[in-house]
Amino acid sequence: MAIIIPVFMKKLKVRDMLLAIIGVVSLLLQCLLRGSWQRPAGLYMSFVAGMFAPISMIAIRSRLSKIIHEDETGKVFSLMATVESIMPSLASVYYSSIFAASIDTYPGLAFQIAAFIFLVKLLSQSIYRTAQLLKDWSNTYWTQNNIFIAVFIFTWISLLWDIYLSLRQYNIYRTTRQVPKELRPEFDSKTFNTCIEYNSLRLRFGFVADVYHQILTAIVLWFDVIPLVWRICGRLLVGLNFAANNELIHSILFVMIGSLLSAISGLPISLYRTFVV
């Protein structure tokens, strides 16, 4: 351990929590091998698998020394030393009882229970490590500009996916010329072809409508139209002799103007859908 720890921390730049996880994994493998492979080879392999087990406590001490106050270091380490000296004696009583009760049926049960305990510890350390990585990642990449770009790209990807699905359906309409067997008792050829033509027209119109609404959405997002409308409402508020900080009237005016602009922008598509399609 005197050589392994400096190599991991100085040369390989491995952090404390990752070292603790390596140690717990080593203990977990050691217990699994001893519990499931009751042969001399299994015993020897368990010693090899558990060679990194002491790293866990060393890494935990190193981590604690960085997060606790200097005045509390001595007390915390004294408590840890006391627990480390008492726990093996207490655990041996329980494990000996389990081993004595299961030696005739499943001799490796005690080691399997220990492996389960180490698995719980491993999961807790892994969750903590993952939370740290996500926090570091969010501080680096989860910026306002990146969120905007991600949302903007997602809206276009969603549109392309919808168009792809609609094109598949449209091709089915174009290539279907005969009434399917399941529908022949209910539809004649003329009615079926009329339905095909109508649904094809609706799909073609849907392509145009989806692209139109997507372009409007892109313009609203890219040119910050919503904040612009909010600022305009603030100027109108002052012009109408209302207090500039009256958020209630400001919000009502914003909703009214926003609804009006939305209705006007969607009017051509709505009229065509109602009276033509």
Reduce the DSSP state of residue 276 to 3 states and report it.
Answer: coil
Cα 153-156-162 angle, rounded to 5 deg:
140
Judged on CB neighbours under 10 Å (0-12, 13-18, 19+), 174 is exposed
Q: What is the pLDDT of residue 112?
A: 82
pTM of the model: 0.50
Query: What whole-number distance in Å separates Cα of residue 153 and Cα of residue 218?
Result: 10
How far out from the chain centre does Cα 128 lie? 15
Q: How far apart are the first and last CA of the chain?
A: 78
Q: What is the pLDDT of residue 157?
A: 92
List the chain domain ranges: 4-141, 144-275
Contacts of 57 (CB under 8 A, 6+ apart): 23, 84
pLDDT in tens, the chain (277 residues): 545 555 555 555 666 677 777 777 888 888 888 888 777 887 778 888 877 777 777 777 776 777 677 777 777 777 777 877 777 777 777 778 877 888 777 778 888 888 888 788 778 877 877 877 777 777 777 777 888 888 889 999 999 998 898 888 888 888 877 777 777 777 777 887 788 888 888 888 888 888 899 999 889 888 888 889 888 888 888 887 777 777 888 888 888 988 898 888 888 888 877 776 6
